[in-house]
Structure 1
Amino acid sequence: MAGKVWFITGTSRGFGRVWAEAALKRGDSVAASARKLDDIAELVSRYGDNVLPLQLDVSDRAAVREAVATAEKRFKRLDILVNNAGYGLFGPVEDVTEEQARAQLDTNLFGTLWTTQAVLPIMRKQGGGRILQMSSIAGVASWPMLGLYHASKWAIEGLSDSLAQEVARFGIRVTLLEPGPYRTDWRGSSAVWAVPGPAYAEWAEAPSAGSLPGDPEATVGSLLEIVDMPDPPLRAFFGASALETVRAVYADRIRTWEQWDSLARAAQGNRSERN
């Protein structure tokens, strides 16, 4: 079989759909998952046997394992995992319900974990593979009304940093994709709102996805370059403003840590005095 084999979650729209089509256009094969098979029927009709459509809710660990096993049986190997499935939860931390908080982490964080765990034994057995984790600029910076979304993406950052160190010796490379604002469905029909209470009324609406600067189609070249690199980066921003934004955030953090370094040193204690 020519080409690489991808397993991509969340291929019904947005980045997942764009990247699945890009892989297929260049002759690769894709196990494409979505919550509803109707959403990916067009991929099957256009690319035939190169597409394995999988109905999947990534928060269901057993279903994830079954889907990955089905993909391996069909294609005999899995070269690239793209953990793309996820959505945005908007609203004040104070007003997020327990159900909303758990659902956000179940999909964005645990969905990523379950799929990663299911694919790793296959990649270890075949002596290598690529894991692309969908993080975000929201995984390294934060803004109001996105607390639980940030929590899910910051967790993916830490998980994947450790993962990369654990699996490098098996020939498996991990890359955290960190897009800035793009015109995807993240702020559209797939978004969930925790209704703000009166104290947060000024943040009652999220900006429309149409007002965001990034074009998802423009990410294809960079994504494929990362996939084909012999030694890909652990982290990669997508979007022209991401580095500038995060540089300012990190500079502010350094200033704060430096300003209060005396407290940190005082908290260290003195071993000889205690003895």
Structure 2
Amino acid sequence: METNKEQKIWFITGASKGFGLLFVKQLLAAGQKVAATSRTTDELTKAVGDSSENFLPLQVNLANDVSVKEAVAKTAATFGRIDVLVNNAGYGIGGSLEEISDAAVRDAFDINVFGTINTIRHILPLMREQQSGHIINIASIAGIAPGSGWSAYSATKSAVVGLSEALAQDVKPFGITVTIAAPGAFRTSFLSKESLALPEKIEGGYTAINETLHKYQNMDGKQAGDPEKGVAIMIDTAFEENPPLHLLLGSDAYRRATAKFDSQMNEFEILKDLTISTDY
């Protein structure tokens, strides 16, 4: 990222590892001001390795609305405004729906979906008052083109895509823009045990799903995506006059998205007569 760009105030969730940590490091190196959340500030501060006045570490439970509200208020009191919100926090959850517990699914929605909603809810009033702002919601290619074995995870990321598309229309009159980032496989900590929840019980009938999950676990550290490049591109969207609403990241994301929409349009056309036959 260029260091001569205007200084903005950033609020980043899930910043102690992966994309979130790279966001913080690249932004601080470029002279930006960053408020960043993690479950523990000690872990975050150690990971970032920067104690400058431009960095505000925040201990936040994203699933707790009060915790998020307090973090946003502290950021506004410290830096005076919030220009960019990056909803990065999230984790994967694999397996068939038979194998995944109710608690595991709800936990995934709490962080991947409701955590995103909570930050947006409390930061929007600041952005509306400023009549400016940019929101980057990091979804996944799984939210656009779901794959076998990731039904619960795809559900959370599809929710992020849908809410972002509607949100972009809602906030446009206030000068606020939205970008949905949909990464494919990047060499982050996503496939680690800390970031990926897999069921303890494996049903023998779901051979294909189990093979898929095993393949992904063996892919760790071999993914095609360079996270430094991906983060740099996402950061650049906040400085564009007309940032993209949909931002695919990675060659695999492009292949999956285009294949999905080609197939979908073909199906729509085949059923066109039946579809329009329901009109009066």
Asked if these proteins are the same fold (TM beyond 0.5), I'd say yes
TM-score normalised according to structure 2 size:
0.91
Structure 2 counterpart SS, 1:95: coil
How far apart, CA to CA, are the structure 1 residues paired with 2:236 and 2:159? 26
In structure 2, the CA distance between the partners of 1:240 and 1:101, relative to structure 1 (3 Å rule), is same
In 2, Cα distance between the equivalents of 1:89 and 1:219? 22
RMSD: 1.6
Query: Quick one: which amino acid aligns to residue 196 of structure 2?
Result: A
Structure 2 Cα separation of the partners of residues 45 and 196 of structure 1: 40
The match for 1:223 among 203, 209, 234 is: 234
**In structure 2, C-alpha distance between the alignment counterparts of 1:76 and 1:58, rounded to whole Å:** 22
State the match for 1:255 in structure 2.
Answer: 266
Distance, in Å, in 1 between the alignment partners of 2:271 and 2:123 is 43
Is residue 187 from structure 1 mapped to residue 197 from structure 2 by the alignment? no
Question: 5 Å matches for 1:237-252?
Answer: 237-252=248-263
- What is the letter of the counterpart of residue 136 of structure 1? S
Greater shift in the superposed pair: 177-186 or 236-245: 236-245
Select between 223-232 and 43-52 the one with higher mean Cα deviation: 43-52
1:235 to 246, 250, 270: 246
Q: How far, CA to CA, are the matches of 1:171 and 1:184 in structure 2? A: 33
Q: Which residue of 2 aligns with 1:141?
A: 145
Percent of matched pairs sharing the same residue? 36
Where 1:198 maps in the other structure, the secondary structure is coil
- 2:197 matches 1:197: no
For each residue in 1:191-216, what CA deviation from the matched residue of structure 2 results, as whole angstroms up to 9, or x when unmatched?
Answer: 10123312124543343321211111
Q: Which range is displaced more, 211-220 or 193-202?
A: 193-202
Deviation at 1:183, TM superposition (A): 1.1
1:94 to 98, 104, 108: 98
Q: Distance in 1 between matches of 2:231 and 2:217?
A: 25
Unmatched runs of 5 consecutive residues or more in structure 1: none
Matches within 5 A, 1:31-46: 31-42=35-46, 45-46=49-50
Question: Is residue 2:154 matched to residue 1:113?
Answer: no
The answer for the alignment partner of 2:217 in structure 1 is 207
Structure 2 residue matching 1:185: 3-state secondary structure: coil
Distance 1:103 1:42 in 2: 26
TM-score (norm 1): 0.93
Q: Following the alignment from structure 2 to structure 1, what is the Cα–Cα distance between the partners of residues 48 and 257?
A: 39
Segment of structure 1 superposing worse, 45-54 or 146-155: 45-54
Aligned AA (2:15): T
Question: What is the count of residue pairs matched by the alignment?
Answer: 268
Query: Partners in 1 of 2:179 and 2:169 — Cα distance?
Result: 12
Quick one: which of 4, 7, 31 aligns to 2:8? 4
SS of residue paired to 2:81: coil
Query: Alignment partner for residue 162 of structure 2, among 153, 158, 163?
Result: 158
What is the deviation of 1:91?
0.7
Structure showing the higher helix proportion among its residues: 1
Superposed CA deviations along residues 150-183 of structure 1, whole A, max 9, x for unmatched, are: 0011111110111100101111110001111101
Q: Within 5 Å, give how 1:260-275 maps onto structure 2.
A: 260-266=271-277, 268-269=278-279, 271=280
Of 74, 83, 89, 2:87 maps to 83
Alignment-derived partner of residue 3 in structure 2: none
How far apart in 1 are the matches of 2:206 and 2:222?
A: 23
Q: 1:224 Cα deviation (Å)? A: 2.6
Q: 1:108-153 CA deviation, whole Å, 9 max, x = no partner?
A: 0111000000100011111211100011111110111110110011
Q: Structure 2: where are the runs of 5+ without partners?
A: 1-5
